[in-house]
Amino acid sequence: MCGIVGYLGERNAVPVIINGLKRLEYRGYDSAGIAILNGSGLKLAKCKGKVSDLENKMASGFGEGTMGIGHTRWATHGVPNDLNAHPHKSSSGDLVLIHNGIIENYASIKEALIARGCSFRSETDTEVLVNLIEDIKDAENISLEKAVRAALNQVIGAYAIAVFSVKNPDQIVVAKKGSPLVVGIGEDEFFIASDATPFLEYTKKAVYLEDDEMAVVQKGKELKVRSIKSNKPIDPYVHQLKMDLESIEKGGYPHFMLKEIYEQSKSIQDTLRGRLLADKGMIKMSGVFDYHDKLLNADRFIIIGCGTSWHAGLVAEYIFEDLARVPVEVEYASEFRYRNPIITEKDVVIAISQSGETADTLAALKLAKEKGATIFGICNVVGSSIARETHAGAYTHAGPEIGVASTKAFTAQVAVLSLIALDIANNKGLLSKTQFRQYLSELDAIPAKIEKMLESDAQTRYISELYKNAHNFLYLGRGYNFPVALEGALKLKEISYIHAEGYPAAEMKHGPIALIDENMPVVVIAPKSGQYEKIVSNIQEVKARNGKVIAVVSNGDSEIAQLADHVIEVEDTLEVFSPLITTIPLQLLSYHIAVMRGCNVDQPRNLAKSVTVE
Ligand code: AGP
């Protein structure tokens, strides 16, 4: 996620901004930049890489100034490079802007601006925004504040912006919708940031802008907040912060993993934003569109990945074969790359990777590419090695995932794969208009269902307390929820160090049932939308051998509640989307058990977030 920092007051803005950007590094980024206004005009430096790289670039006498803005960029439009880094200047060089978010309709705005003679240096949506503001400001001869408001009323998307004019070194205009922005109120000084960490050492008084709010930060004046839509003034609420630095980086959560579990309503919304147009009955994915023929005419999809990404691929196998009626093979990348696989030009290989840097996955896709397959990537890191190696792709836009155990990246991967399968099924005429719209509307409803489910984790916490000292767990699922059983087992073992196995529920009688006794907790994923009667029988088989059953069930399911030792209720949805729902309680179960066992949840032993070696 991008980070924004700004300062206006009596101090030298440079160290305030640079240290502030360092406080935001935890958000994940790939480039950084700073712009300040001082006695001798504008100074701006930006580059791909880390804040330390930016400092090296500034080393040759950057100068000082009492007003400035800085940015750490998490690339969404345009790969990480110096040109795409923020801050961005307007064509005339008068306006300087930083932005966290996505402008969905930037392409049409850019087209109109080019037609009016505007030129662009970067590939970013942000540069379009700063030029739109300038175009309006000049054309209507209005103030920066008014131009920002007019521009934002034309924009569709999410933003937290800070912008100033080089002609006015005493004012920064900020605005917020969908991305966080907070203003620190000091003694005759203001701080602007994505969260309070950059200014907590200077002041504990903060105004958190709400969506559709903008503000003028002006030296020697009170903070003026108003509505972007109605222009009505708003009386800002000044918080007296009590948090410490470390807890803010985690958004008040004790661990990044828990924060990322709770972010999944938003991360799936961000993943679907601009792609799933349920009200219009459409899917719009540029990466898919550019290779539509290859995807629609593929003889076979080969999905490669590792760990959780491999599990997302398994879910995709069910979705693609069920809806798009196309053969799918899912391969561990590490096996695929060495088994001399048969690959033809009619194959489409989908490489799934959160980090985009997993060595086995990268090597496997290079092999497939050499043999003529079309390579489609699903990554969470823009400009990562895997993303750059593919012919086309779709980013998951889940934001940086810091916890080693993958959570929001998994559900974002499944959401993107669902969109692709639905797009193919629809374009191949395999779904009626009504069916297609039903799928789109249900997928659109998933973030709200996750939000509702995450209102309380009391039940998973209670169950975790009971079983935190178990030595083994079994996870069982059928159909779409078999891969969820594997994912749930992986989550548990990688952060709590308890051995856990995932199995197709019907497979139990072919061996694992010998393991069942009163010391074997068995997690059974049993939503109504699945092979319900069958999974009920599997639960009975476990109970008949004194196994302890923890069942993930649809809200209000009284039948399994009679059988199982514990039930965790989840929102109902179509079977095809059930992994997006049933995964959530398994993430929480593994998290709470690991915490109760005193494990290092965010950095489990022996594990790395990105396995860049074989
Ligand atoms: C998942 O919780 C693990 N951290 C691990 O299995 C991970 O999914 C795997 O290493 C693949 O990583 P990638 O998605 O970045 O390629």
Q: What pLDDT digit, counting tens, does each position of 469-494 carry? A: 999 999 999 999 999 999 999 999 99
Average pLDDT taken over every residue of the chain:
94
- Residue in 221, 162, 224, 133 with CA at minimum distance from that of residue 21: 162
Q: Is the CB of 358 under 6 A from ligand 1?
A: yes
- What angle in degrees, to the nearest 10, is found between the helix axes of 433-453 and 578-596? 20
Ligand 1: centre distance to CA 302 (Å): 18
Ligand 1: centre distance to CA 411 (Å): 13
- How far apart (Å, rounded) are the C-alpha atoms in residues 386 and 306? 13
Q: Is the CB of 418 under 6 A from ligand 1?
A: no
pLDDT of residue 247: 61
Q: Is the pTM of this model over 0.95?
A: no
33 CB-near residues (< 8 Å, 6+ apart): 44, 45, 46, 47, 54, 70, 71, 73, 85, 86, 87, 98
pLDDT of residue 246: 65
- The H or E element containing residue 341 is none
- Per-residue pLDDT, averaged over 18-42, amounts to 88
pLDDT of residue 347: 95
Beta-bridge partner residues of 165: 95
- Per-residue pLDDT, averaged over 116-126, amounts to 94
To test ligand 1's pocket by mutation, which of 257, 261, 309 has the most ligand atoms within 8 angstroms of CB?
Answer: 309
Ligand 1: centre distance to CA 609 (Å): 7
* Residue 599 appears among annotated catalytic residues: no
pLDDT of residue 61: 81
Q: Is the pLDDT of residue 497 over 80?
A: yes
* Residue 221 appears among annotated catalytic residues: no
Instruction: Note whether 192 and 14 are within 8 A (CB).
Output: no
Alpha helices (H) in 284-358, listed in sequence order: 286-290, 292-296, 307-319, 333-336
Looking at 50, 284, 371, 609, which residue is catalytic? Answer: 609
365-409 pLDDT per residue, tens? 999 999 999 999 999 987 678 998 999 999 998 988 889 999 999
Confidence of residue 24 (pLDDT cuts 50, 70, 90): confident
Ligand 1: centre distance to CA 475 (Å): 19
Looking at 2, 118, 306, 379, which residue is catalytic? Answer: 2
To test ligand 1's pocket by mutation, which of 303, 306, 357, 389 has the most ligand atoms within 8 angstroms of CB?
Answer: 306
Confidence of residue 290 (pLDDT cuts 50, 70, 90): confident
Q: Is the CB of 307 under 6 A from ligand 1?
A: yes
Confidence of residue 606 (pLDDT cuts 50, 70, 90): confident
Which contacts of 369-372 are long-range, i.e. CB under 8 A and separated by 24 or more positions?
371/343, 371/344, 372/343, 372/344, 372/345
Q: Is the pLDDT of residue 248 over 70?
A: no
Ligand 1: centre distance to CA 316 (Å): 17
Smallest CA separation from ligand 1 atom 6, residue: 307
Confidence of residue 234 (pLDDT cuts 50, 70, 90): very high
pLDDT of residue 180: 87
pLDDT of residue 191: 98
pLDDT of residue 382: 75
% the chain with pLDDT above 90: 85
Instruction: Note whether 197 and 245 are within 8 A (CB).
Output: yes
38 CB-near residues (< 8 Å, 6+ apart): 63, 64, 65, 66
pLDDT of residue 63: 87
Q: Which atom of ligand 1 is nearest to the CA of 358?
A: 16
Ligand 1: centre distance to CA 486 (Å): 13
Q: Is the CB of 583 under 6 A from ligand 1?
A: no
Q: Is the CB of 133 under 6 A from ligand 1?
A: no
The residue whose two tokens read 């505007």 is 118
Cα dihedral value 583, 584, 588, 594, nearest 10: 30
Confidence of residue 126 (pLDDT cuts 50, 70, 90): very high
To test ligand 1's pocket by mutation, which of 358, 492, 493 has the most ligand atoms within 8 angstroms of CB?
Answer: 358
Ligand 1: centre distance to CA 154 (Å): 39
